[in-house]
Structures are given as C-alpha cells and as structure tokens.
Structure 1
Amino acid sequence: MLALILDDAALNNVLMAEAIRGIPDCEPRTFTKPSEALAFVRENAESIGIAISDYDMPGMNGLQFLREARAVEGFAHVPVVMVTSMDQRSLRKEALEAGATDFLGKPFEAYEVRARVTNLLDLNRARLAERDRAVWLDREVKAATAVIEAREREIVTMLMKAAEHRDTETGNHVARVAAYVTLIARQLGLPESEIRQLSLASTMHDVGKISVPDAILLKPGPLTPIERSEMELHAERGRRILEGSSSRMVQLAAEIAATHHERWDGFGYPWGLRGEAIPLSGRIVAVADVFDALTSDRPYKRAWSRQDALAYLQTNAGTHFDPRCVAAFLAANGVEIDEVASAADAPIARSA
C-alpha cells in the first residue's frame, strides 16, 4: 500500500518517511505541494492505504486538502492522519468533521508514528478484505441465482410444451403475454428483478387449461353455461397444480393462475375478489391476457384490431381492469406493443 505524506517542509517529509520505512507493505510517497498530492490521490486513490497531512501549509491547508481528497472516488474510507502543532488542538473538531481519522502532534516521535500508521493500515486492510469478500459473495449469489432461474425456466418450458400439445397457439400467446406484462410492470415502476420474475411466472397463467376437455378448449362457437363453468375451473386448477412450491417464482405463478380472471369490480372468478384485494400480479396479467386474446384469432372469433382492443381496455378500466394497469399499458410506446405482437411468434422456450 502507498502512504501519502504531505508537508510543505521537505525535511518533515524526510523524517516522516524514515519513521514509517520498514512497515510491511507500506511505501511512502512524499509531496510538498497540496495540489500535487491531490492530483496523486485522483490518479491512485485505490492504491493509497493511508495519508498523513500537515495542517499548516500555504495556499491550501490540511483541512482544505482533506475535504477535496475525501470527495475523490475510492478515497472516502482511506485513513487520514492530520499533523498539528500543540497550539492547534482547537482545529481537531473541525478536522474530524472534515474526515480526519487520527492526529499527530509536532514534534512527533518515530515510535508513535510507526504504531499509529501500523494500526491504521491494519484497519484499512481489514476493511478492504471485507469489501472484497462482499464482492465475492455478491458474485456467488448472482451465479447461484442464475442457476436457479435457469432451472425454473426449464420447468416453465416443459409445462408450456405440455400445454402446446393441447393448443398450438398457447406458446405464442404466453410469450406475448409475458412481454406485455413486462411493459406494464416497467411503467408501474417495479424493480427489474421483480419484473423478470413476474414475466416468467405469467407464462403459466393458463396452465390449468391442461384439464379442460378439447371439446370445450377448441370449440369454434360460444360455450354453453355448463361448458363455461368447466372452463372457469382452470383458474383454481392452475393454482392447485402450482401450489406448494418453495420457489418464489412458482408461488407467484400460482397466484397469477388463480387471480388473472378476477375483476376490479368484484364480478370475476374464481373468488370474486374486488379492487386491490386482487394481487397486483393478477391485475397486471389480466390486462395483458385480455389484450392478447382480443388481438388474436381464436376458434370462436377473429382477431380485433389493436386500436379496438386498446379502446376496450380503456372503456373497461375501473370495472374489469385495474385503472392503473390499463394506464400503464396505454402509456407504453405503441411501437413496443407492435414489436411484441410481431416478435412473439417464437416458441415459449425462446421467449420466456
């Protein structure tokens, strides 16, 4: 580590450098001009282990040097020893407030300098070791999280492949819904980590349809009341398929599966939840799911225009949909919505 020594008297610098010479991993660098010492700090902040500065210097005194040095990135936690004469003790409060770590009085004793510098260097090494360990731990956590996310994506892919055997449109639909969910969540200001989880979890919103008979799922005309009741069971069945997992993402998927058909006015299913009693995840997916359903060909209808589908969302904000989620979707750039619709023709394995 480098030890920066600043004193306008060259002899004092020589004495200070001699006092600390021999301390392991401590290489003195001396300066007689504060401006030059400050320039050195700006170039070598990460390599400086300790700084020793005289207070009484012409032009820029020790306090001014300390304040400017503390503002340099990487120097905020470097120990700084302020050297003052015995009649300058009143300056110590001001020096502490400016960021001084310790003090030495003039004239100084070599043994005291060595002891203080050794102790402060040890403290700084411990701080740096803790910082490096924190960086290492952060890297390891991110790597472990990436492995978990990859496994969760694999689970999602397999579930969606099973669903695609029932309905060839499923893969494209869930990919578009996931992309729309991302647009809405981002407009709502959710953290990116939550947005990623929400987007992936949303791809399983209709997993309960695995249990719906083909005669109902693929029926080209309107459903009878009995068929409609059977279709509506997919929300609760989806929750049951996904519940009980220790994975936060799968727990979120279960929540979405159960609540994405709830309505803001309380007339949805399966539980008739109203307003903010509906989890935000379900409210977001409700908007994305209905928009994609409206703008896609289905066995029972032709696709609506995007303009008509957006108008439908706006008309039903506050009844079917959470007004905030509709506003967030409408606030998303129209070009982004078009890009999602045209780019999501890839299978879910590539889109999730």
Structure 2
Amino acid sequence: MLVHIVDDNDTNLMLFEQIVRRVDAEVTIACYPDPLTALVDCSRQMADLVLLDYMMPGIDGHEYVRRMRAMPGARDVPIVMITAAADRFVRQTALELGVTDFLTKPVDPSEMRVRVTNLLALRRNHLRLRDQNRWLAEEVRHATRAVLEREEELIVRLAKAAEFRDPETGSHIVRMAHYSRLIACGLGLPDDLCQLIFKAAPMHDVGKLGTPDMILLKPGRLDDAEMEVMRRHPVIGHAILSGSSSHLIQLGAEIAITHHEKYDGTGYPYGIAGENIPISGRIVAVADVFDALTSRRPYKPAWEMERARLYVSDNIGLHFDPRCVEVFLAAWPEILDIRSRFADPVEPERSLV
C-alpha cells in the first residue's frame, strides 16, 4: 500500500508520517511539500490513500483533487482533506470533487489513526474485490471462448457431414465462406457480423443431409419431380439449425433458408425478393453460385473464372443483389487469390490397366 502525504508544512509532514507508520509499518509513505510533484508521482504510480492539506502554494487542495481524479485508476482512491473548522464551503466543494473524508486543524493524532486505519482497510478490500472481479471476468471469457469454439466445431462437423453426402468438395465451403466475408466487409457491415457470416456460411447446405442419395448423387440433370425434392433442402437446413440460442447458429439457419432466394423474387423456397431477403442470404447467394459454377460437378465441368464472373455480372438485379455483386467484382484480385489458395485437390489419373 502506498500513502501520499501532501502538505507544504514540514512539521506536519513529519507528524502525519509518524501517525501513519503506527497504523501500518508495512505501508510505503511518500511525503510531498510540493503538490505538483506529488501529482506527477501519482500519475506514474497511483497512491492507495492521500492525506491532503487544503491551503498550499501553487495549487490548492481542490485543484489537486480535480487533477488527481482525472487520472486513470484514481476514481476509488480515498482522499482525506485537512481543513480549518470554519471552512464549510471548502468542504462542500471538496465533496463534490470527490474527497472521501476530512480532518480538522489542528489534527488530532488519535482521530487521524482511526480514519487512516479504516480507509486503508477499505482500500485493501476494494483492491481484493477488484482483483477477484478481474479473475471472474477472465474465467467468464475463457468459458465463453470455449462455448464459441464448441459451436464452431459443431458447425464444421455439420458441414462435413453434408459434404460426405454431397458431391461438392470441402474446398467449396471454405472458398464460399471466404467470398462471403469479403462481400460482407466490402458492404461495410460491422466486423463482428462479417466474422459471423464467415463462420455461418458453411452451414448453407446442411439441409442436404435430408435429401435422398438417388437425387443428391445423380450424375445427370434432375427432372422436375427430383428438383422439387432438392429444393426442400433450405427448409430442412433451417429446421436443423433453428431454435438455437447461439447467434452463430441462428445466422446459419437464416442463411440456410434464404441462400437460394433470388433478388427478383423467382428463387425458392418462398420467392421473396429484393431487400426482403436478409443480407446474409443475399451475400451467400453470390458466393455460393460463383463457386459452384467454377467447381467441377458430376453433371458438369468447372467454368472458367471469367465466364463465371460474366454470369454474376449479367444477373445483377435478377439473381443477385446489385450491391453485393458490385463489391464482389471490385474485389476481383482477392477473389482470384482465394480461388488459388483453396483450390480443389487434383485427382490422379486412373490407370487403364
């Protein structure tokens, strides 16, 4: 514990120091005849208790308290001001500035001992409680981080489960998640929402877990009846993910149900249009379609990047939100980089022997 004694009278400094020593021999005491020097030292290492004379050269006790209370960590430090008995206005102003207690001149040593003892005990309890609160806050942060990590692990595992049943590769969900975050950031969405979209985007097709293999794995194009079954996967995905208290999984449910909606209202499952489609769904629609076009599937070869770029551009206002496409095309170098970094593995050629 550190006690500052600020008084321009050397006799008072000696007397007050002796009284504080009798209260607690382990306390560090710093005496200051100059209040400005005391303030400088206090800014470097905050005191735990200040005994402060009101009448001092340079600045008075009021100004000292005003400057000290403005320092970081000084709000809860006890300050005892020493004033004359008749200085009622001085005391009232001091209380408004944040003085904790008063001593009246001439100071009674017994009274000072009691006040110093009580205020040092109060300060110790405050510091102990503060440290405990910091520890508890850190434990809460650790627990929250663990919960978030488990949520993210669950999402990855759900996406992988859908991947095992779907001819799409794991690289697809990685790329489209990065494209989605790139678009979200380009739209100026808050950083935390951009990160949530990045983590939730891989859940977009989790509803394919409920799609029959004969349709999901069909090498050719689907007929109308089969397409009708395939188009149920957004609703299935939403049913799997909805009802969670997690913001991340809630966003995943929103993306699952809306990523096949189209800006002109011709999408599915509900045919909603324009900005009635949540922004997460509009973002993922661009990212998902673009990567699906540029990826090889059992029923089609991969498109060239430029051909897919033109397709996205040609469908502004039809399939895609114009703002999302504008941001996507403006970030073309980053798109190419993502495509390169997370390229699909090259399958080895099969031997004819």
What is the aligned partner in structure 1 of residue 67 from structure 2?
68
CA spacing shift, 1:210–1:52, aligned 2, 3 Å? same
Unaligned residue ranges in structure 2 (runs of 5+): 346-353
Partners of 2:291 and 2:125 in 1: how far apart? Answer: 56
CA spacing shift, 1:345–1:5, aligned 2, 3 Å? farther
Report if the CA contact (8 A) 1:50-1:120 is conserved: yes
CA spacing shift, 1:69–1:316, aligned 2, 3 Å? farther
Report if the CA contact (8 A) 2:169-2:344 is conserved: no
Which is further off, 215-224 or 162-171?
215-224
Which is further off, 118-127 or 5-14?
118-127
CA spacing shift, 1:75–1:293, aligned 2, 3 Å? same
Report if the CA contact (8 A) 2:82-2:103 is conserved: yes
Partners of 2:327 and 2:55 in 1: how far apart? Answer: 60
CA spacing shift, 1:313–1:75, aligned 2, 3 Å? farther
**Aligned AA for 1:189?**
L
Partners of 2:28 and 2:287 in 1: how far apart? Answer: 62
Partners of 2:279 and 2:42 in 1: how far apart? Answer: 50
Unaligned residue ranges in structure 1 (runs of 5+): 348-352
What is the aligned partner in structure 1 of residue 50 from structure 2?
51
What is the aligned partner in structure 1 of residue 351 from structure 2?
none
SS of 1:86's equivalent in the other structure is coil
Displacement, 1:205? 0.8
Partners of 1:346 and 1:122 in 2: how far apart? Answer: 66
Report if the CA contact (8 A) 1:13-1:30 is conserved: yes
User: TM-score scaled by structure 2?
Assistant: 0.81
What is the aligned partner in structure 2 of residue 341 from structure 1?
339
What is the aligned partner in structure 2 of residue 18 from structure 1?
18
CA spacing shift, 1:159–1:77, aligned 2, 3 Å? same
What is the aligned partner in structure 2 of residue 158 from structure 1?
157
Displacement, 1:51? 1.3
**Aligned AA for 2:100?**
T
Report if the CA contact (8 A) 2:211-2:233 is conserved: yes
Report if the CA contact (8 A) 1:295-1:306 is conserved: no
Between Structure 1 and Structure 2, how many residues are aligned?
Answer: 342
Q: Are 1:227 and 2:226 counterparts?
A: yes
What is the aligned partner in structure 1 of residue 348 from structure 2?
none
Partners of 2:184 and 2:317 in 1: how far apart? Answer: 18
What is the aligned partner in structure 2 of residue 350 from structure 1?
none
**Aligned AA for 2:67?**
E
SS of 2:48's equivalent in the other structure is strand
Report if the CA contact (8 A) 1:163-1:170 is conserved: no
Report if the CA contact (8 A) 1:244-1:251 is conserved: yes
Q: Are 1:78 and 2:77 counterparts?
A: yes
Partners of 1:124 and 1:341 in 2: how far apart? Answer: 59
Partners of 2:137 and 2:344 in 1: how far apart? Answer: 34
Partners of 1:139 and 1:37 in 2: how far apart? Answer: 34
Report if the CA contact (8 A) 2:262-2:320 is conserved: yes
SS of 1:5's equivalent in the other structure is strand
SS of 1:52's equivalent in the other structure is strand
Partners of 1:51 and 1:314 in 2: how far apart? Answer: 69
Partners of 1:93 and 1:288 in 2: how far apart? Answer: 65
Displacement, 1:108? 2.0
CA spacing shift, 1:337–1:247, aligned 2, 3 Å? same
Which is further off, 216-225 or 200-209?
216-225
Question: Considering only CA atoms, is the larger Rg found in Structure 1 or Structure 2?
Answer: 2
CA spacing shift, 1:121–1:341, aligned 2, 3 Å? farther
**Aligned AA for 2:40?**
A
User: TM-score scaled by structure 1?
Assistant: 0.82
What is the aligned partner in structure 2 of residue 102 from structure 1?
101
Displacement, 1:6? 0.6
CA spacing shift, 1:317–1:37, aligned 2, 3 Å? farther
Report if the CA contact (8 A) 2:290-2:308 is conserved: no
Report if the CA contact (8 A) 1:219-1:300 is conserved: no
